[in-house]
Amino acid sequence: MVDAIKTTVNRLELTKGRASDGRPANAGARSLAASPSVDDVKVSDAASTKAQMQLAQTPPVDNEAVSRIKDAIARGEYPIDVDRISEALMDAYRDMKA
């Protein structure tokens, strides 16, 4: 599913900060704060339809797995590796800072 979303995003036609005539959205502005940029995203009908079909085929959440995990937590049998969680959080933080 993530690959399907990445494929759809790759098909997007991005026109960041451009007016309809191709000029920068803030042309003639004294500062960026006085004239915020405009972001436009256009998705082709084919990409939009394909993405909708792929999302409709599989649910985004595996309810059975969620139930199993909830039950294991309720019984106190769900293993929690604090070191692994903290490492993953630190990796995510480092990636954000880079």
| Secondary structure in 3-state letters for 13-59 | EEEECECCCCCECCCCCCCCCCCCCCEEEECCHHHHHHHHHHHHHCC
| pLDDT tens for the 98 residues of the chain, in order | 455 555 554 554 343 444 555 555 555 444 455 556 788 888 788 788 888 888 778 767 889 999 999 999 999 999 989 999 999 999 999 999 98
Longest dimension (CA), the chain: 65
CA distance 98 to 91: 11
Q: Where are the domains of the chain?
A: 1-59, 61-98
> For residue 68, what are its two tokens?
């199993």
What's the pTM?
0.32
Report DSSP state, residue 61.
S
